[in-house]
Amino acid sequence: MNYIKAALIGLIQGLTEFLPVSSSGHLVLAQRLLGINMPGVTFEVFLHVGTLISVIWVFRERLINIIKSFLVLYKKEERARFAASSDRRFGLLLIVASIPTAFIAFLLNDFIESAFGSSLFVGIALLITGGLLWVADTLPGGNKDIAQTTALDAILIGVFQGIAIFPGISRSGATISGALFRKLDKRTAAEFSFLLSIPAILGGALVEVIKISRDAAGVAMDWLFYLVGIVTAAAAGIFAIRFFIKLLLRDRLRTFAVYCWLVGVFVIIITL
């Protein structure tokens, strides 16, 4: 039964991490409405490892090119090509966008933790997510590729990701909405949003790993339980990323907006 629970929670995490419906919000709801209790922070960290694997797998070619574009700095003869590299620009903009996210997370950490204990907060936040998606879907298509994306664009997208730390605000929905508001074309917006999740997920996981290493030294762990969660979250995440990009390119964000509104209203009704 424990392994079924691990698979179910991994499925919820993998799907909702990348679909614009808020993974944190759905995990809170799963615990409260379905009686699914999270086994602890350690398991949450492993779930995030699963979703990290999924985004790295889907965008592995772009990531390899970004890494290569920075590695050529060690070769003088390659530095001129490095300066004109779109992959290098992509990597630098991801770094810039990660700064406001980290700042917001640090500044609002205590308030964020209290928000996770409020179903009403999750319901209201889901309504906000739906509004962001609806407005973003009604905007005329942008035409900025990564070469035309500015540092200001990256900072503002990073702010949107920082706001999405709150449960009920979708990270992918917020960042893609922010990118569309800044007139990025939809494919670039999707790629930037998902790649931007890597430092966010990795940073959050590292913080929790440090806490776990202090508090759980010598504690026995059921590694198969964690492996089931990781594999399920990774597989569901790969499906969710590819599925969402297809819908985004077909102007179907409003489908997710309606879903967020329905779930948000339902949560508010049962909470009051």
In order along its 272 residues, the chain shows pLDDT tens digits of 478 888 888 888 889 888 998 887 777 777 666 666 655 566 777 888 899 999 999 999 999 999 888 887 666 666 566 556 788 899 999 999 999 998 998 888 777 767 777 788 888 999 999 999 999 888 877 889 999 999 999 999 999 999 988 888 999 999 999 999 999 999 999 999 999 999 888 877 776 666 666 665 555 566 788 888 899 999 999 999 999 999 888 888 899 999 999 989 988 888 87
pTM comes to 0.85
Structural domain harbouring 179: 2-222+236-271
127 inside domain: yes
56 inside domain: yes
Report how many domains make up the chain.
1
CA distance 152 to 104: 17
CA distance 160 to 175: 5
On whether the CB atoms of residues 130 and 174 are closer than 8 A, the answer is no
227 inside domain: no
- Residue whose structure tokens are 């979708």: 170
- Strand, helix or coil at 207? helix
105 inside domain: yes
